[in-house]
């Protein structure tokens, strides 16, 4: 990620992608199960579906419990805003009308496998990061840049973990192992 000088109000975004040697329907099984994400994320610790939901559908909510060395521990409620199996799964964090973040997985057929993208937008709603910005407004652009770099690295790690799990499971299923 290169320096953009973005401020929080700019709603900065980051996207990472990978190729997975498996069909989109196989990749989708992993992407659409947010309860698997804590095992593939350095920040997300636990996910709990709310109000009787057991999986994603538009309008369903889940609580994500997170932890970060510099930011501490927190939890947020996410609202599924897009669910189009096996292509798109997206959620808005906190208030869907004014989210603190929006996250999206996109699954596309690509050659003999799948292109998986993870995208996120920071803001426009206030998040825990705003407390740091409020304390050091002169450093806002650096604070935003550093956090976006962290998101990019974490997302790349998540996609690498999904790729490894999917390809291991798919290769085993294909070979009969």
Q: 177 pLDDT band (50/70/90 cuts)? A: very low
Determine the Cα–Cα distance for residues 112 and 124; give it in Å rounded to an integer: 38
Q: 174 pLDDT band (50/70/90 cuts)? A: low
Four-CA torsion 58, 63, 65, 70, nearest 10 degrees: 70
Query: Per-residue pLDDT for 19 more than 50?
Result: yes
Cβ atoms of 13 and 121 closer than 8 Å: yes
Paired tokens of 161: 């973990």
Q: What is the number of other CB atoms lying within 10 angstroms of the CB of residue 61? A: 15
DSSP 8-state secondary structure symbol assigned to residue 1: -
Domains and CATH numbers, the chain: 10-175 (3.30.530.20)
pLDDT for the residue 46: 94
What pLDDT, in 10s, does the model give residues 77-105?
999 999 999 999 999 999 999 999 999 99
């Amino acid at each position: 990620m290169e320096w953009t000088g973005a401020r929080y109000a700019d709603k900065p975004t980051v996207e990472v992608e990978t190729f997975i040697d498996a069909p989109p329907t196989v990749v989708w099984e992993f992407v659409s199960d947010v309860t698997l994400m804590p095992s593939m994320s350095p920040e997300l610790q636990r996910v709990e579906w709310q109000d009787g939901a057991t999986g994603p559908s538009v309008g369903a909510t889940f609580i994500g419990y997170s932890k970060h060395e510099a930011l501490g521990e927190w939890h947020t409620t996410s609202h599924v805003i897009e669910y189009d199996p096996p292509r798109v799964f997206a959620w808005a964090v906190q208030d869907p009308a004014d989210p603190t973040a929006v996250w999206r997985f996109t699954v596309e057929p690509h050659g003999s496998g799948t292109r998986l993208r993870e995208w996120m937008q920071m803001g426009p709603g206030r998040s825990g990061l705003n407390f740091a910005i409020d304390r050091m407004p002169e450093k806002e652009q650096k604070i935003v840049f550093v956090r976006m770099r962290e998101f990019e690295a974490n997302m790349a790690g998540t996609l690498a973990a999904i790729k490894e799990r999917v390809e291991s499971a798919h290769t085993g299923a294909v070979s009969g192992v």
